[in-house]
Structure 1
């Protein structure tokens, strides 16, 4: 397996450079009009900008005609959106330390519960959730209602209930998927998604009087919100626009397939930009000049990053790439889009692990954008051979991108960790470690300043420690093989690591959820210290949604959700107390049915913990016997 930059033509770069020079920012548009004057210039020709809105539409139609058949898209009629959220195991960013020995490496992870109460991928980059904390105020979304609680006293006290409606005045369906929020400067930004996943509503709520919140803006945009991030006071929403829903014909009678194909191709030719771009009230929200068109034949659709300050929610900045991908990773100053083919299926929530991961597709293009305020500037791109499963497979430290990739038709039958650096306008391979888990599936990754912990699984669970202190020469330090596997990894200081996943027999048959405690003091010889198993047919909630894991460092206690069966008929909070290299477990039954997926354990600044279940918000006693 190798990394290579995308080969591009010279003419497009030259013409754009002559027209406008260097360094225009992608993403200042407000609508679907002609390109800005002067038009934006991209860093190289891996992404180009159409000369006009007509040319942009033609690029969509030309690509679409290759995919439509007598039964519609790809030979079958497309129902709903495809795509899913990412998750697998957390990571971080910042500058790496210099080369160090395996025993003294800096093992700092910046992925942890932040002040909003959410277990996030990057410290400094908040993520949406169904529950948020802002000082003594706790907010939660439940069945289209924003509930505000005062948590300053002995127990949560309900202050208000605010229905969240879309721009047309009808209730936003916020159960599956959607109904998540971020909070900034006394305002909540709530994301809700329609039943069919074809539209999302962004609602801004003023919380200056939490006893009587007021909706100040509600904007419904076509497309599915697949990620929400908060950088300072800038909210960024990733919106996926899949293939348009068209009234396709199906074959019938003599020459049925021929007639159906011709009619379906005619429907594609009659599409407008409003069919391909995200829209508000039927008008594209992205200017034609803010849509970058990939040079390669990628998944057809549009991925848009919409940015705004909740203080002025109607003023938006947009950046779009004409491909449909749900693998978007944000560091503190970069946005990376891995242009993988979205899997078929439905999603349970924003930022949850997909039911199906991306299958082998050969190579995965990666586009890098620099973030500055509400703007995004395309800076570099490259192409990695192999599959990128989800956002947790990527991590940025300074200008270095680290990617864990699985096998594909273009690689060997193993997993790899690849480091990339920005060289001009290209992402080029800096270093790599191959042959991680031959004939095995990559199940989780944990990124640190200068370290990666990678877990793969087939019959046993190899855990690999990889030194990234020199990005140009990453090296395998040590490995540990044990039964079972971890799907989510969380650091417990510099020398301990906990993994939530599945127990398994030596033959690779899963036997239920487990928590495993690891000692990574000596990275050449990682050790498993203790294991807690939860019984047959149990599932660890953090495996699908890391927000169902909470670490309380002062108390040396991990709180995590465990459910019975794939349907989550019963949900418990597992209270794992750590001491002297061992874990003791106490199970607290808290919920039943589909509400198990919304259970959260929210740490407060006071040291108290709030338990959020389907119907209730209560105090949770961590020390109860």
Structure 2
């Protein structure tokens, strides 16, 4: 008996997907190469070279149970223009946009607005709301009734085109899990919305970025390998040997990412990335491929498909600028088992319970335990850079490596030809840790400088780079906010340090000389107590200080781990964050000026019925449109006066 195991390993909320490809028997030409002087980019010579390299590297990383030391998961194959009634862009009221890392680089989110329309997808149905009439003017069901919609979906919008991201299946954090079905749907929003094309990749979705109308999709896929069914009386060494033999007999087609594209007429095109469009860094596992797809929403899917290029590497975090796309990962983390946390130490998130997390919560998603093998992988972060400054397929530039692990995309920042990378490095037994910021040359990803020794015994909870200055928060019992002078790439240095209780999980630039922090207050022993919003004076980098703090006891906010949930409107100083507190949920409305943080009020959505019970919808996003504040929950949109917070309208999305 043999078991088909798809070797795709995913990380919670960071999962990846393989996507649109060109034919392996022809298709478009290889992607352009970038001249890097002494740096040698390693490309496969031909398909035989690609197969040999992938087989041997994968064989070196296969274990007794396949890729990873966890028991394999077996699963069944998944069977399953301007609108005439819309105002022109010039007439659109002043409005906020998605809170993104880099200006001009849009990120997928639950809701988008152009001032005239609010566009969102819920339960598999796209809805367009007219901001003037405050009514749903159009809707389009995007998922089949036989397939789970998966709740809300992310989307990107450019003009009258929307790209909707459906991520299928549950994701197990840092453990071995099947990918589920993922689909990208391109929708024409002009007049009655209609589907232009559907893109179904094999694998898992990492992330996407959009500049203008051009979207770069990053997906991650693993080889389809049939491993022999292990027997109880076979040693681990023999199992590994048998699995290595299976890897070495696997054809190249098992690695090459595949894609299925269905156009508006229902015609299906299936493609595979050509082997000459696959590159690899000097060191790689052979267990997964990153693929970058390019899709211009204005043009739609052309004969070139999504013009993909692939890299034999792992990836879980995406960061983009106007000219560069970075994908980072720690491959050993993907393939090492995770020890289950003791019950009393398991972190909780306040989004579900309304209560603050227990002592020293993990700043990302909660861990789902895998196998109890106490192996700890080396802590290294791999960084891969693609040049996206030209139209068409991006160019793979270089790969680099730094010690430690990233927190999220805000740990990365490109500035004046250099990439800053903030990581935390822990000892193998987990008893010691410290953080550092590394400066790499953007064209080679070779190290230029570093500053270390941040937060001895602690780990990074938030990072923000603003120009030549960096801010880093570490936490265990107190919250040191470090200010960093990054003006000399070869000699970055710490210029100031502020120790306060609690921590900031997200940092946002305020007015000149001001920094806003969203996180948790904590006791002197490090036990979290509830959400805090802090205003820091960082005008003197040697002496950062906290000017104001607003504390909400036993509360948590989605903005602590998802910056898209944070709204800051500089024009009036209004700020909004989702808030869960005990048995109630809503949106906390604040005023943040140069002197402090004050509470303006709390917005709540109407109670909803569920059988014989009622519940309070949790607010996820907020937007300023004209003189009104719009808030989004799973159940609907509410409009409130931005000054008085008086309710103006309720728009059901159910």
Relative distance call for 1:299 and 1:407 in structure 2 (3 A) is farther
Partner of 1:93: none
Give 2:82's aligned residue: none
Q: Which region of structure 1 is more displaced relative to structure 2, 331-340 or 544-553?
A: 331-340
How many equivalent residue pairs?
Answer: 545
Paired residue for 2:184? Answer: 202
Distance 1:474 1:541, change over 3 A: same
Distance in 2 of aligned mates of 1:603 and 1:245: 50
Structure 2 unaligned residues grouped into runs of 5+: 1-18, 76-93, 170-177, 261-268, 339-348, 350-362, 369-375, 609-613, 647-654
Q: Distance in 1 between matches of 2:393 and 2:22?
A: 13
1:230 maps to 2:227? no
Of residues 33, 44, 49 in structure 1, which corresponds to 2:25?
Answer: 33
Aligned to 1:304: 291
Q: Deviations over 1:443-475 (max 9, x none)?
A: 101111111111111110000111223323322
Q: Which residue of the partner structure matches residue 587 of structure 1?
A: 602
Q: Is the 8 A contact 1:251 1:259 kept in 2?
A: no
Quickly say closer, same or farther: Cα 1:451–1:527, change in 2 above 3 A: same
Partner SS state of residue 191, structure 1: strand
SS of residue in 2 equivalent to 1:55: helix
**Cα offset, 1:40, TM superposition:** 6.1
Go from structure 1 to structure 2 and tell me whether the alpha carbon gap of 1:396 and 1:30 turns closer, same or farther (over 3 Å shift). Answer: same
Residue of structure 2 equivalent to 1:88: none
Report 1 or 2 for greater relative contact order, CA contacts < 8 Å, sequence distance ≥ 6: 1
Q: Which of 273, 282, 288 is the aligned partner of 1:295?
A: 282
Match of 2:513 among 479, 495, 503: 495
Going from structure 1 to structure 2, the CA distance change for 1:445 and 1:240 (only over 3 Å counts) comes to: same
1:175 aligns with 2:150: yes
Q: Please, what is the CA RMSD of the aligned residues? A: 3.4
Q: Structure 2: how far apart are the matches of 1:369 and 1:258?
A: 39
> Could you tell me whether the CA contact under 8 Å between 1:361 and 1:408 is conserved in 2?
no
- Superposition pairs for residues 362-441 of structure 1, below 5 Å? 362-371=379-388, 372-408=390-426, 413-422=433-442, 426-441=444-459
Aligned pair partner of 1:124 in 104, 123, 132: 104
Shifted more, 480-489 versus 552-561: the winner is 552-561
Deviation for aligned residue 1:294: 2.4
Matches within 5 A, 1:482-561: 482-536=500-554, 538-561=555-578
Instruction: Measure the CA separation in 2 of the matches of 1:130 and 1:496.
Output: 29
8 Å CA contact 1:363–1:408 kept in 2: the answer is no
Query: Are the aligned partners of 2:58 and 2:286 in contact in 1 as well (CA < 8 Å)?
Result: no
Normalised by the length of structure 2, the TM-score is 0.76
Distance 1:479-1:160 versus aligned 2 partners, 3 A rule: same
- Determine which of 319, 327, 342 is the counterpart of 1:329: 319
Q: Distance in 1 between matches of 2:476 and 2:635?
A: 39
Work out the CA distance in 1 between the residues paired with 2:587 and 2:20. 45
Q: How do residues 90-489 of structure 1 correspond to structure 2 at under 5 angstroms?
A: 117-153=97-133, 156-165=134-143, 173-175=148-150, 179-195=153-169, 196-209=178-191, 212-242=192-222, 244=224, 246=226, 248-252=228-232, 254-255=233-234, 264-281=243-260, 284-298=271-285, 300-310=287-297, 311-314=299-302, 315-341=305-331, 343=334, 353-355=364-366, 361-371=378-388, 372-408=390-426, 413-422=433-442, 426-489=444-507
Instruction: Specify which of 43, 47, 58 is matched with residue 52 of structure 2.
Output: 58
Which stretch shows the higher mean deviation, 215-224 or 294-303? 294-303
Query: Secondary structure of 1:51's partner?
Result: coil
Instruction: State the TM-score, normalizing by the size of structure 1.
Output: 0.79
Question: Within 1, Cα distance between the matches of 2:33 and 2:623?
Answer: 45
- Cα deviation, residue 116, structure 1: 6.9
1:79 aligns with 2:99: no
Deviation at 1:189, TM superposition (A): 0.7
